[in-house]
Amino acid sequence: MDSFLIKGGVPLHGEVQISGAKNAVLPIMAATLLTAEPCVIRGVPNLSDVKFMGQILTWLGAKVGIEGDTVRVHAKKIKGQGDYDLVRKMRGSICIMGPLLGRLKKARVSLPGGCVIGARPINLHLKGFEALGAKLTIQSGYVEAEAKRLVGGAMFLGGRAGSTVLGTANIMMAASLAEGVTVIESAACEPEVVDVANFLNAMGAKISGAGSPTITITGVKELHGAEHHVIPDRIEAATFAIAAAMSNGEVTIKGARADHLHAVIDKLEEAGVVVERRGADMIVRRGKKLKSSDVTTLPYSGFPTDVQAQMMALMTLAPGISIITERIFESRFMHVSELTRLGADIQIEGPSAIVKGGRPLSGAPVMASDLRASAALVIAGLAAKGTTQVNRIYHLDRGYENMDGKLRALGARIQRVDES
């Protein structure tokens, strides 16, 4: 099992290119199941999750080719059941259910896996499928859906923690081949949802309102093949921005799409980080001194839960008290105990973490618990004195393309080692 060895204390300098968005490319790959014609997706990051999704599509009968950052999928003939051993590896695999139901009017998909960051139920997905006329059963670890015909209708997809990104994408995909008009209220507004809608529209779907809380889908009889370029990953861009500030360096983040990062940029600037926007790029550096800042995670366009751990790492260096409140997932503070191993002073009180910042960090062995916690520990290691070993970095490979290579190109002293 691989680990990262990081010798901290080196400011990052240079340019880094942001890869395609993981949270957009997975449902877009799934959407290729909606047509018997070939599809081409460009700007695809080289991630283990992308490879898993390619294996799932292949299992379902599609021909999948990956060359560089281009994925070609031809799902001429497909079956309606996802393999348990593949689907269980990542939560994003549930997004094959909408396309299978839309095209075949039936689907049998294993309940998905993924990071251990608290309950992430798929009840809103199922609620949407039922609203389209599907009959659902859950047994032996599988969700089965079947419908003689899918018929559009109005539905509300708001949940306890807000709207559902994958659920919105899933329903959009199924509804694209349903009869009549589907209206999703309390739809997720994330840029990744817009990107999925843009791909579906390129395939011949009729979707309007993506990016707003109300999405309207007018069903069509069939979809055709299409080409699409995936948006850049706003979470990767935010991670490198925080890494630049944490290491006291200056990094040009190319393809960052600042228009997708308003809440993150606002909090970074509040914390004393200088962010210059230059077209699609951002130049990030630490100001004269870091300042404490309170952060609450919210659905888009609020501060993203996927940047909470990284922001917490930065606040360990900011003098004063920062309060970071998690409103999306109830168990997303598993990185706190590992940051304290590096010398951070953090206390958890209910949904909030109280960070007493300003103390220097020192290297130590730490254990990654999930994807974004891994990123937080890596960037904390960049600022820590001495050597930090981040174990179980397979989480990172799920969501960050060549993170160690990109950091080395910026001057970081980081190497991947095999601990097996």
Active site residues: 115
Residues 129 and 151 sit within 8 Å (Cβ to Cβ): no
Distance of CA 381 to the CA centre of its chain: 22
Six-digit token pair at 11? 């400011």
By CB atoms closer than 10 A (0-12, 13-18, 19+), residue 211 is: middle
- Among 168, 167, 178, 195, smallest CA distance to 103 is for 178
Residues 289 and 317 sit within 8 Å (Cβ to Cβ): no
311 Cβ partners below 8 Å, 6+ apart? 242, 264, 267, 293, 295, 303, 324
Distance from C-alpha of 283 to C-alpha of 149, rounded to nearest angstrom: 51
Q: Give the length of the chain.
A: 420
Residues 125 and 154 sit within 8 Å (Cβ to Cβ): no
Characterize the bridge pairing of strands 181-185 and 154-156.
Answer: parallel
Characterize the bridge pairing of strands 345-349 and 352-357.
Answer: antiparallel
Distance from C-alpha of 157 to C-alpha of 299, rounded to nearest angstrom: 13
